């Protein structure tokens, strides 16, 4: 009985992870039924659960290798399989193999992104993500889906499906790239302007609540474009960020 509070503390973050996976599962079911709006919004809920589980684990001091692996498996379902299924059923179902391959590439890149993250978890600085995080890639798919439902006239043309393919592949390859994406966890500007940041977050939440059909995809696009601009502007200082000492020796060892 003495260990009960500790066991509950370990159980809590894994509960949020399980809820995250549940969101992915129900999104797949809803997407299969053609309810693309609900399938999209439940993925947003999954992203919220995903952002909570890690914070709860850190607050309770219950981080574990099991929790990390469980979180990654859940992310593959919610932010890999579910959005790939969603985008296929919404945009590519009539495109044959091209649509199938495009959807699978998104899933594959998301899975590779998570595998690389797990392999390098002790190497990557918490200040930057190596490649676009998979929840952001999934929210980009959600944004495209909601935008197409808000402005269906823009997607009545056959060319729109090919634009959607380019859109999906763009975010897929960003996930497996080595472009650094700021996590804002240790940003000096954020730390020195906490009230301003809180106000900005409050405004963004209001805008998302009021205009989520446009704001979700728009915010992800703004984050991506800002990160790409920052990367190319500071390429000399950032391009070696994810090259760790010893990697060359390991590569040579594999080649022998």
Cα torsion 18, 21, 25, 30: sign? positive
CATH of the domain at 106: 1.20.120.1760
* Local confidence band at 255 (pLDDT 50, 70, 90 cut-offs): very low
Asked if the model's pLDDT at residue 166 lies above 90, the reply is yes
Contact (Cβ atoms closer than 8 angstroms) between residue 43 and residue 100: no
Tell me how far apart the alpha carbons of residues 27 and 157 are, in angstroms, rounded to a whole number: 26
Range(s) of the domain holding residue 90: 4-251
More confident residue, 72 or 245: 72
Residue 224 CA: distances (Å) to CA of 36, 158, 180, 200, 238: 24, 27, 10, 18, 16
More confident residue, 147 or 118: 147
From 25-39, 61-75, 100-114, 235-249, the region with the lowest mean pLDDT: 235-249
More confident residue, 238 or 222: 222
Residue 24 lies inside a defined structural domain of this protein: yes
Asked if the model's pLDDT at residue 55 lies above 90, the reply is no
Residue 256 lies inside a defined structural domain of this protein: no
**Tokens found for residue 235:** 């390429």
Token pair 């009539």 is at which residue?
Answer: 94
pLDDT at 133: 95
pLDDT at 36: 97
More confident residue, 192 or 160: 160
Into how many domains does the chain fold? 1
Tens-place pLDDT, residues 31-52: 999 999 999 999 999 999 999 8
Asked if the model's pLDDT at residue 125 lies above 50, the reply is yes
Terminal Cα distance for the chain, rounded: 55
Average pLDDT, the chain: 87
Percent of the chain scored above 70 by pLDDT? 88
Residue 118 lies inside a defined structural domain of this protein: yes
Token pair 């391009």 is at which residue?
Answer: 239
pLDDT at 253: 47
């Amino acid at each position: 009985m003495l260990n009960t509070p500790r066991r509950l503390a370990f159980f809590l973050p894994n509960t949020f992870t399980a809820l995250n996976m549940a969101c992915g599962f129900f999104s797949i079911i809803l997407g299969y039924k053609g309810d693309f709006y609900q399938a999209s919004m439940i993925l947003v809920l999954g992203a919220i659960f995903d952002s909570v589980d890690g914070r709860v684990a850190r607050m309770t001091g219950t981080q574990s290798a099991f929790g990390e692996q469980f979180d990654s498996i859940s992310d593959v379902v919610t932010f890999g399989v579910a959005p790939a299924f969603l985008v296929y059923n919404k945009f590519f179902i009539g495109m044959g193999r091209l649509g199938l391959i495009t959807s699978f590439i998104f899933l594959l890149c998301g899975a590779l992104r998570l595998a690389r993250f797990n392999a390098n978890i002790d190497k990557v600085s918490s200040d930057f993500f190596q490649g676009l995080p998979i929840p952001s890639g999934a929210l980009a798919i959600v944004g495209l889906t909601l935008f197409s439902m808000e402005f269906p006239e823009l997607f009545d043309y056959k060319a729109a499906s090919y634009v959607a393919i380019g859109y999906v592949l763009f975010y897929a390859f960003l996930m497996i790239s080595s472009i650094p994406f700021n996590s804002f966890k240790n940003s000096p500007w954020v730390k020195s302007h906490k009230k301003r940041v809180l106000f900005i977050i409050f405004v963004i939440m209001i805008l998302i609540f009021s205009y989520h059909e446009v704001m979700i995809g728009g915010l992800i696009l703004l984050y991506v474009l800002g990160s790409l601009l920052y990367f190319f502007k500071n390429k000399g200082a950032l391009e070696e960020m994810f090259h760790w000492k010893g990697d060359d020796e390991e590569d040579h060892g594999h080649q022998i």
